Structures are given as structure tokens and as C-alpha cells.
Chain A
């Protein structure tokens, strides 16, 4: 390790100290989601908690932040799906949504369970967060439309939106703990920032995983780039309209 860090050019004979875990599209999806989560939960909590609502008071502004973030969040996710690396996104989704016998053993805390690129806990977390995101969107859209059309009001829209918030905040707290505080799992953070994780860490925690080549050479096709740009443009324009309508 030390030799690799101090030498300017690692020699070809040295085994790679890191292995690629996340491509650029996967990382972008993660960070878009993370940034949106913090903006949405901050503005949402300020709208929701009586103490914060009274202290800030500017409900229309908070609503504009909340709705604007939601619009940009969905826009960016859609643009990344359209213009990003489909192959890797699909592979990641399939890995996350499938549980192997080893994963089930991992969940039962059986020793010797071998994880792939994702362990079972990461898979469960991803599935829960995706389901919550879908429910946030469904209930959020209904809250927005219900203000305009009384036929779209349901007695449980706000309670479901709130319940998702409590579960999501608890999950994110655990996620942050494992990524930033808990020493044995902290090396995984590098995979989401730079794309690569320590090779020894990968062997120890993800024994059944064979890392692929990194995606440094991947570039979107001109068509995908155009489609992604169009989605960004249309989504941003729609978000601006949404914000102006909220502040009106």
C-alpha cells in the first residue's frame, strides 16, 4: 500500500490495490438521490414540524423549495436513465433486486455467507429506499393535485407521505452511520466517491464478487447524450413553471 502511494507510477507487476465498484452513472444516480433527499427532508420537516413551521413561517417559499427539488430530482434521474450507462444501471438493478441463498443466510447472520457486489443488507436497503421513493412521488403528486382538484384528495395521503419520511430518515441515519462512522464498513464510501474500493476490503466483504473492468472508457452515444439533454431541459423548464406557480 505505502509503496503504491509514494511511487508516482505503479509498476505493472503490482496487484491493483483497488477494484472498480461503481460506474459514473451509478454514482451520479446515488448523489442526485442523496442531494435531493437532504433538500426535500429539510424543507419538508420545516413545513411539517410545528416548531420549525412557526420559526420560519414562510410556507410558500418552503413549498417552492420542496416542489422545486422534487422536480429537479425526477428530472435528473430520468436524464441519467436516458443518457447514462443503461447496461450498468440494469445490471445493478438486477443484482439489487435478487437474493441468493447466501444472501438469505447473510440476513440470518449465518457465518460463511458469501456476498456478491452487494450484501443482502445493501439489497434490502436499496429495495426499501426505491419503494419509499415511489410512494413519496405518488403521495407528493396527489398532495399537489389535491390542492387543485378535490376529487384527488384521499384521507391517507398526508399520513402515508409522513410515514415514508419517518422510515426513510431512519434508514438514511443507519446508512450514514455505516458509510461514515462504523470503521469496518467505512472503506465502502470510496466506491461511491471515486468509484473504486480497496481490493482487500472487497475480498473480505464481497467474496462472491468478481469486479468488472472500470468504466473509464464508457461514453454516452450522441443519441443518448441528446436525449439526456432534452430531458434535462424539459424537466428544468417544467420545474421552473412549478416553482413560479407555487410562489404566485
Chain B
């Protein structure tokens, strides 16, 4: 066989290659819609199966510093300090005794996946902060995760504009699991998931807005779904 010899046949495979790559690249613009339809179609499966299989609930567990923080009920507490009249140290039972808020909301990750219709139970920030008493010059809440160095800040303005913002304690009818931030995480449905600090152990009321973990890495502070981070 000489160097210039071309084998018999037609370059059907070559065309197929470019066709598949073309369709795949176009999927960058519509792939998420298909993924959501597939995830919806798995709701017929039992919940434990759904949470374990790919394409099921659709959760992806992101963390920045392994292993996931471990929650021990006997020793765990949530500190509320900063610009408050009475700094607090709340146990999980204290949190559960506060007025409970329930909601169903969608969760959107900035990397492109979403989980629709998540059932949350938790505490609204007004109720959470009532006993501590926020001082007049406060402008923001700084959340500190047990997973160091994850932090994030929501302004009081952002929280007031979001009636569905909460500190969640239960997801889909069960206490938060370890990978979802047990026992308490921030839920801010109108913003991308990186604003929802997991494993919250401290809330500091401040008058400055410090960049959160991902914001220090270029993500937007106003992380509204569909209106930020280039999306």
C-alpha cells in the first residue's frame, strides 16, 4: 500500500463524526432542558433509589475541604454574634423550637444543574434573629461553615427581598443529611447554590459585605438565577 492510497468506500464515518460533534456542541445550549425532563421522569422511583442513581434527584455534592463536617447533636451549636444586642448560642433543639417555615422551591447550581421542587423546612431569618436583636447599623449576615474556609455573606436587603430565604433544617421531609449540610444550611432559592452555605455554625451580623468563598474566586455577589455569573 502506497502512502497516497485511500481505502475503498465512502467517508460516511467521517461525516458522522462531525455530525455527532456538531450536535453535541449544540447541546451546550439545550442539554439542561433534556436533563431536567429526564430527572422529572424519575419521580416514579422510590426516594432512596432516586437519590442514589445518576439523573435521579439531580443533586451533585460539592465541597471544598474534605471530609464533610460531622454533626454531633450533643455538642453542636449555632453562634449568632456581631452587631446584635444579645449574642446567642443556639442548640438544634433551640432552632427546632423557633417558628417553623415550610416551602417547596427549586435549587439551581451555577454550573448548570438544577433540582426542582425541593421541600424545605427551616427558620426564617427574622425569626432566627429576633431574640438576638439586630442593631440599626447592621447591613449584612456573614455565614461561616464548619467546612473551612467556606464563608458567604447575604445583605439584609437581599434577605428582605427574598421571602423564601431560610436557614433550613430539613430537606424532603427528613433532617438534613451530612452531605447536604447537617444540621443547618442556608437556602436562598433565587440565587445560585453557592450562596447556600452548608454546615452553618456561625452567623455574624455585620455592617460590611465580605466576599464569600466563591466570590473571592470571581463569582458574583448578586447571584440571582439567570441574571448573574454570565448566565
Q: Which residues of A contact B (CB under 8 A)?
A: 47-51, 53-54, 57-61, 87, 91, 94-101, 103, 116, 123-124, 126-128, 130-132, 134-135, 138-139, 142-143, 146-160, 162-164, 166, 212
A156–B13 touching, CB < 8 Å: no
Select B24's contact among A99, A101, A135, A166, beta carbons within 8 Å: A135
B13–A100 touching, CB < 8 Å: no
**Does B1 lie at the interface of the complex (its beta carbon under 8 Å from any beta carbon of A)?**
yes
Give A5 to B67 CA distance when docked, in angstroms.
56
The SS class assigned to the A binding surface is helix
Give A159 to B21 CA distance when docked, in angstroms.
15
**Does B173 lie at the interface of the complex (its beta carbon under 8 Å from any beta carbon of A)?**
no
Give A51 to B57 CA distance when docked, in angstroms.
12
B24–A164 touching, CB < 8 Å: yes
Tell me the minimal C-beta distance from B1 to chain A in angstroms.
6
Give A139 to B59 CA distance when docked, in angstroms.
20
Contacts of B11 in A (CB 8 A): 97-98
Residue interface bits B125-148, CB-to-A below 8 A is 1, else 0: 000000000000000000000000
Q: Given that A53-B60, A135-B24, A146-B111 are contacting pairs, would A156 and B29 also be in contact in the complex, using a CB cutoff of 8 Å?
A: yes
Residue interface bits B213-231, CB-to-A below 8 A is 1, else 0: 0000111100000000111
Select B52's contact among A51, A116, A139, beta carbons within 8 Å: A51
B31–A163 touching, CB < 8 Å: yes
Considering only CB atoms, which chain B residue lies closest to A210 in the complex? B1
Select B17's contact among A53, A130, A149, A212, beta carbons within 8 Å: A130
**Does B99 lie at the interface of the complex (its beta carbon under 8 Å from any beta carbon of A)?**
no
**Does B68 lie at the interface of the complex (its beta carbon under 8 Å from any beta carbon of A)?**
yes
Give A225 to B109 CA distance when docked, in angstroms.
46
B13–A99 touching, CB < 8 Å: yes
Q: Which residues of B contact A (CB under 8 A)?
A: 1, 3, 5-14, 16-17, 20-21, 24-25, 27-35, 51-52, 54-55, 57, 59-68, 110-113, 178-179, 217-220, 229-231
Contacts of B230 in A (CB 8 A): 149-153
Q: Given that A60-B66, A153-B231 are contacting pairs, would A127 and B17 also be in contact in the complex, using a CB cutoff of 8 Å?
A: yes
Give A156 to B34 CA distance when docked, in angstroms.
9
Contacts of B63 in A (CB 8 A): 57, 59
B178–A54 touching, CB < 8 Å: yes
Considering only CB atoms, which chain B residue lies closest to A99 in the complex? B12
Contacts of A53 in B (CB 8 A): 60-61, 179
Tell me the minimal C-beta distance from B14 to chain A in angstroms.
4
B25–A138 touching, CB < 8 Å: yes
B20–A131 touching, CB < 8 Å: yes
Q: Given that A130-B17, A156-B31 are contacting pairs, would A100 and B112 also be in contact in the complex, using a CB cutoff of 8 Å?
A: no
Contacts of B21 in A (CB 8 A): 131, 134-135, 138
Q: Given that A98-B12, A139-B28 are contacting pairs, would A148 and B218 also be in contact in the complex, using a CB cutoff of 8 Å?
A: yes
B29–A59 touching, CB < 8 Å: no
Contacts of A142 in B (CB 8 A): 28
Q: Given that A135-B21, A153-B229, A160-B28 are contacting pairs, would A57 and B10 also be in contact in the complex, using a CB cutoff of 8 Å?
A: no
Q: Given that A50-B60, A155-B231 are contacting pairs, would A91 and B35 also be in contact in the complex, using a CB cutoff of 8 Å?
A: no
Instruction: Jot down 14 A-B pairs with beta carbons below 8 A, ordered by A.
Output: A50-B57, A59-B62, A59-B63, A97-B17, A127-B13, A149-B218, A155-B112, A155-B231, A156-B27, A156-B28, A156-B112, A158-B113, A159-B112, A163-B24
Q: Given that A53-B179, A96-B13, A153-B111 are contacting pairs, would A160 and B24 also be in contact in the complex, using a CB cutoff of 8 Å?
A: yes
A98–B229 touching, CB < 8 Å: no
Q: Given that A60-B64, A153-B110 are contacting pairs, would A50 and B59 also be in contact in the complex, using a CB cutoff of 8 Å?
A: yes
Considering only CB atoms, which chain B residue lies closest to A146 in the complex? B111
B25–A135 touching, CB < 8 Å: yes
Give A204 to B12 CA distance when docked, in angstroms.
25
Select A50's contact among B6, B10, B61, B110, beta carbons within 8 Å: B61
B29–A154 touching, CB < 8 Å: yes
B9–A50 touching, CB < 8 Å: no
